A and B are shown apart, each in its own frame.
Chain A
Amino acid sequence: DGGITQSPKYLFRKEGQNVTLSCEQNLNHDAMYWYRQDPGQGLRLIYYSQIVNDFQKGDIAEGYSVSREKKESFPLTVTSAQKNPTAFYLCASSNTGTAINEQFFGPGTRLTVL
């Protein structure tokens, strides 16, 4: 079955540590996205990538980093510079060939800072 997988489902981090969230897709989509979700605030875009080896900052990129070395993979690193990282993180992908930008989402990773 085609889809997007995110791991781990739950992640606990101590203050001052970097952590990396995994996102893999087998939909053959060119574009991938990372969103942060906080209660009552909807989804806010962290980073997006339209093609391998290229990515752009979204609205709240400070304290985060990404890489796009393979089409299937778009890992997100939450660095110690992120002041309030506790949130639900969603990865998504879309088929840029259709120009519609319908997004397909993974199941999410819930990050908690202890």
Chain B
Amino acid sequence: EVQLVESGGGLVQPGGSLRLSCAASGFSLSSYEMNWVRQAPGKGLEWVSDINSSGSVRYYADSVKGRFTISRDNAKNSLYLQMNSLRDEDTAVYYCGRVPMAASSYHYNYLDVWGKGTTVTVSS
């Protein structure tokens, strides 16, 4: 079964750091572009970051640029999001998502597989 499982969320004080992980199973992560998307409590979806299959190209939303770093370890079939200098407004459920291979080849970016999410709460 194709599956993504996020972990690493929790309660952190403003200014603190967290590292989220996304473990892939049922497919080889190395073949896929991946994204992080978040959802604040009671709000809509907000794109956070994208990384290509090799890890050589990364994109970030302006709201997290300079604070968050996306990375991957294809040998471990895992995706990561290092979050530093956390703010109250970073409180959200964080989802990882997979881009279909056919889409990536055209620079299309929509997500056909999503994890269940991990909750990050930034509060003092």
Do A and B belong to a common assembly?
A: no
